[in-house]
Structure 1
């Protein structure tokens, strides 16, 4: 699957000052979301916090959702990337633990949760969220499982998507409800779903 970072970027008229402004916008959007929530987040507030004109934001992004998606893609690539090396059950477990930390402890994880929530109410957000983030990431995760199966590292009884839903779903549910991820949850999921004992 193409990595999230390999998705086409919007053309930006770019010198270093433009890149600095772009990063300032992404950081401002991230910070304001954590401070005030999705509903109170506006392009005007992002521009004010980033120290750029509102027209600068609209030149690069059509909406606050697209700003947040760029923030999410960059933060996920840095702090919760899907492993690209030959996977093992242990490395998959480490990836899931890192994803749990990203969602429950990292402020950037709140962007993912906010976009998930907004996607339930707004079809345009749902479409962009799936095209730009969820779809590419799910494909990366499928490839991770396929490589581990081919190497004999795991033997899931469920298909790839059902396996991923069963692995990631409880983590996301905990994060969405504000609960901590129980100790031992990830290792239990990996043992039960990826390395089931023969009957």
Structure 2
């Protein structure tokens, strides 16, 4: 009878560390080479692990990218955008959410790099990240206080227009210093933009308090 000890299964801590290595490798590959470089073999080489572990922990490339996109480090969560104590009138709530969203993305340079790749690349995997962002947007809309925003304003459409403009400025700030006279690569430039968001939201939304969050 062999005295050699049986090989024990990997500990949960080791599995978590390996998953983290793989997810970090996805982000590095996306930033450096774009969606075309993503594949099980490439991610395994980047992470320094056997590709079998990618299938074991994630099931495949689609599920791996989905796990990476759902990580709060990629896209701001609903709680992060709403804030701990959301404002109690429509104008301040709207401008507060927009400003927190800007600040959250500015803290995620890797996300901005990936968004830049996504804007210029058509790839089957890009739809996975787009779906995750759409889901977060729907969750945010569902979490807003009932009755606070005027039904005359198409809030999703307004969010799309303003959000697209802000995202474009964020992406441009990676490569240019000034856009339309605004120094978008500096904190002072973004302070001007945020102040203008306050004015814009005051013009669009009523300023009087309405219902509290979650009220029917």
- TM-score w.r.t. the length of structure 1 is 0.67
* Contact 2:35-2:125 at 8 Å conserved across structures: no
1:75-113 per-position Cα deviation (integer Å, ceiling 9, x unaligned)? 348x72223556324454344334324434523313651
Q: Distance in 2 between matches of 1:197 and 1:160?
A: 10
Equivalent residue, structure 1, for 2:66: 69
The separation in 1 between residues aligned to 2:104 and 2:85, in whole angstroms, is 22
- Structure having the higher helix fraction is 1
| Alignment equivalent of 1:23, drawn from 3, 20, 24 | 20
Q: Distance in 1 between matches of 2:130 and 2:42?
A: 26
Measure the CA separation in 1 of the matches of 2:51 and 2:138: 35
Summarize the alignment of residues 94-133 of structure 1 with structure 2, pairs less than 5 Å apart.
94-110=96-112, 112-113=114-115, 116-117=118-119, 121-122=122-123, 124-131=124-131, 133=132
RMSD: 3.5
Q: Which runs of 5+ in 2 are unaligned?
A: 1-9, 177-183, 207-216
The structure having more radius of gyration, on CA atoms, is: 2
Runs of 4+ in 1 over 6 A off after TM superposition: none
Match of 2:7 in 1: none
Q: Which residue of 2 aligns with 1:135?
A: 134
Contact 1:102-1:108 at 8 Å conserved across structures? no
Q: TM-score, normalised by structure 2?
A: 0.63
Alignment of 1:148-159 (within 5 A): 150=147, 152=148, 155=150, 157-159=152-154
Q: Where does residue 196 of structure 1 map in the other structure?
A: 204
- Report whether the alignment pairs 1:82 with 2:78: yes
Size of the aligned set, in residue pairs, is: 177
